Structure 1
Amino acid sequence: MTSTTEPAVARAAERPSWWERQSDLIMRRPLNEWTFTHMNWLMPTERVAGGPDHRPLPAATVPLDLTYRFDDRDHSVEDLHRRTFTTAFVVLHHGRIVHESYPGAFAGPRTRMQLFSLSKSVTSMLIGIALADGAIGSVKDLITDYRPEFAGTAYDGVTLADLLDMSSGVGGLETWDGADSRIRDFERAALSGGDLGAIIRSTPRTAAIGAQFNYSTFDAQVLGWVLEAATGRTLAAYASQRLWRRIGAERDAYYGLSRSRPRTAISAGAFNATARDLARLGLLMAHEGRFDGEPIVPGDWARRSRGADLPHLSVGALGPSGYDHYGYSNQWWTLGESSFQAFTGLGVHGQYLFVDPAADVVIVKCSAWPTEDDPDRDRETITALRRISDHLA
């Protein structure tokens, strides 16, 4: 005889657990405005310590009394914040804070923001520093030179340059929808204790190495693991010594770690820092790797991030995994050719580190979009940031 409780038990067994559902819950409005500023309450972390020399950014505030044109209408900066769920907004011109606001309910100058895939651009900066340090020999080195466990996988034969330009040929279109989404599997594994390495090593090859752009969190995560192997230090420890201490950061940053042991930094998407300190990284990239005149990131590395001479990475040529107003280079999204050299780091839910070297403008915009990706909000944001840069220049 079948117990009447069996169907209920079966349904309960099929229902996702809290650990399996938490990534969906914490990423949606209105809760995400809180979670994006309190990720250290939700996952293991490792501190990126600053040094004793805290150097506040000088301020020379000016009103941003301008409008930008989008969808045949003029909008103000306040409209941008309302329409795109801004939580933190910092604008630098010539190294000075000219505008700063925190529309987010839980945001402020000391609030550390979850930067998601903007973390990839930070990893790129660290790779450039490691090359200058001699810890990494060349971007032409193979992944397997540093991480032999990738021998025999789809990443066998892939160079660091291929990873930096998201051209490894491994994996398909990165989408957050569908039951077979590998990036969802990666996210859930990070939050619930799964094997991140196994997920990445099992990803198949879908294109020739170096032939086409395919946005890949896995490529960026492997870069982080290469960096740790090359330097013999955790990502947070290396970032602290070689980057964070040297820019006079106002507050310690941190990396989110996987729940599985041994814990590993989510280098592709879990760096957390204040908006002001993120703006300092933008200054480095705008000033060819220098901060207060001190070389920190190699100048040629900063210039490499403005654009590549590869047709499949040019603006408008990225294909289905990139919007048509972007190109890509060195873990940064590029925005123009030759005369317009602005570029930006991006993170899901609306995180931006916009750098315009010609205008000497850096803009940080953190947000809490309702969804991971939003083509309309992205296009509006880039339109507004370019308008602000033109206005200041």
Structure 2
Amino acid sequence: MRRIDTAHRLRGPAVATIAALTLAGWAVPARALPRAAPTPLAPAAPVSAPDVAGAGSFDLVRPSAHPVELRSAPRRLSVTYTYEGDERTFDDFLARTKTNGLVVLDGRRIVAERYVKADRDTRFQSWSMAKSFTSTAIGIALHEGRIRSIDDPVTRYLPELRGSGYDGVSIRNLLRMSSGIAWDERSDVPKLQMAANRGRPVGKLAARQVRGWEPGSRFEYTSMNSFVLAKLVSRATGMPYHRYVEKKIWKPAGMASTVRVDKDSNGDSLGYCCYYATDRDFARFGLLYLREGKAGGRQVVPRSWVRTSTTPSASFNPGYGLHWWLGGDGRGDFMAAGFGGQYIYVSPRQGVVIVKSSLSAPANDRREALTAFRAVAAEVARTR
């Protein structure tokens, strides 16, 4: 039986590099910035790739002066699981999904960590895992009274959206992906990303969205919702989104490295994607939620928000909270998920966090990923 061996790199086919932004594989890992050097990120692979939001279109979020320590405690884990009637190994899953970064935490102990054409200082593209950071920022702003209620209409804070499909739609309905705007994620996100690449202000695109169905009546995954929420954070707090994330999340949660957050030509952080961070810092974010919002002995995220955002937000989709995907089956696990196989998985019951970064992955691999992560979490708990 094959094993997860923290002393060796992933086995299997080499991960191919990609030199262009394509629908088949958007995620290109970005190499580490020096912690204090505000210089552009270079790709980890030998072939260069374009910036996701255009040259220089990003902000830097600085780390904590006192990072949360993650202790290396390698452990051999034999992991198999059954999916669609087949018995599979976790190693094979990692190879098939072209994984080039993996961190498994047992509390604050790193029990498995491996990289392919990358290392612990590589900044990986988050893609839609960023949505869970945006949700966290909303929760903190709500707790501080900067946002009166998530049942407020977004136009209370962003009056420029009056007359658009977002007019009168509640913050809650954006968070649970039920805004009612006419949107098709498969076809509209590439257009959105291309517009950002070409220097168009995304806020103007948001103001052009039209109503397609009754808000709060169904689930429709919509990245534009997350952009609007990030812009709302800036407007409600009087602080740029990336700076609020730095002050309220990144530093107090004990992150160890600088992160890049992409923005549009108007200076608005995209919010739905494009955090470039190390897998260890993504794991620290998972650890923050594992500990119900606490880090370094302080409550960083309100415990009530952690619980609310990671429980079903609507009867029409019990598998989604407030910008978090839920495991279901009464297990209480949840994860942030991004295009191409990016994951932060949290199992409160077993005290485990798993981060996985990939160049690309098969479409709709989230169900298998959940099954595989649950098997790893169970094995970590069993061998504790």
TM > 0.5 between the two?
A: yes
Shift of 1:71: 4.4
In 2, the alpha carbon distance for the partners of 1:91 and 1:306 equals: 20
Number of aligned positions between the proteins: 344
Equivalence for 1:160: 171
The one of 274, 277, 280 aligned to 1:273: 277
In 2, the alpha carbon distance for the partners of 1:274 and 1:263 equals: 24
Equivalence for 2:195: 189
Q: In 2, are the aligned partners of 1:141 and 1:159 still within 8 Å (CA)?
A: yes
- Which stretch of the first structure deviates more once superposed, 139-148 or 73-82? 73-82
SS of match in other structure, 2:185: coil
Equivalence for 1:20: none
Equivalence for 1:353: 344
Q: Deviations over 1:230-249 (max 9, x none)?
A: 11111111111111111221
Does 2:366 align with 1:374?
A: no
Q: In 1, are the aligned partners of 2:68 and 2:296 still within 8 Å (CA)?
A: no
Percent identity, aligned pairs only? 32
- Which stretch of the first structure deviates more once superposed, 277-286 or 66-75? 66-75
In 1, the alpha carbon distance for the partners of 2:302 and 2:252 equals: 14
In 1, the alpha carbon distance for the partners of 2:222 and 2:368 equals: 24
Equivalence for 1:292: 296
Unaligned residue ranges in structure 1 (runs of 5+): 1-22, 176-180, 315-326
Shift of 1:297: 0.5
Shift of 1:199: 2.0
1:1-393 matched pairs, under 5 angstroms: 25-27=20-22, 35-37=28-30, 40-41=41-42, 42=51, 43=54, 44-103=57-116, 105=117, 107-175=118-186, 181-258=187-264, 260=265, 262-308=266-312, 310-314=314-318, 327-337=319-329, 339-369=330-360, 374-375=363-364, 377-393=365-381
In 2, the alpha carbon distance for the partners of 1:66 and 1:125 equals: 32
Query: Could you tell me the TM-score, scaled by structure 1's length?
Result: 0.83
**Letter in structure 2 aligned against 1:101:** R
**The structure with more radius of gyration:** 1
Q: In 2, are the aligned partners of 1:131 and 1:138 still within 8 Å (CA)?
A: yes
User: Which one has a larger percent helix, Structure 1 or Structure 2?
Assistant: 1
Q: Deviations over 1:8-40 (max 9, x none)?
A: xxxxxxxxxxxxxxx99224678x66x332584
**Letter in structure 1 aligned against 2:29:** F
Shift of 1:111: 1.0
**Letter in structure 2 aligned against 1:368:** L
In 1, the alpha carbon distance for the partners of 2:340 and 2:314 equals: 29
Shift of 1:197: 2.0
Q: Deviations over 1:343-393 (max 9, x none)?
A: 1111001100111111111100111116xx612x33332221111112223
Check 1:28–1:186 CA distance in 2 against 1; reply closer, same or farther (3 A cut). closer
Q: RMSD in angstroms over aligned alpha carbons?
A: 2.0
In 2, the alpha carbon distance for the partners of 1:366 and 1:67 equals: 20
In 1, the alpha carbon distance for the partners of 2:159 and 2:115 equals: 45
Q: Which runs of 4+ in 1 moved over 4 A?
A: none
Check 1:58–1:389 CA distance in 2 against 1; reply closer, same or farther (3 A cut). same
In 2, the alpha carbon distance for the partners of 1:203 and 1:40 equals: 33
Equivalence for 2:11: none
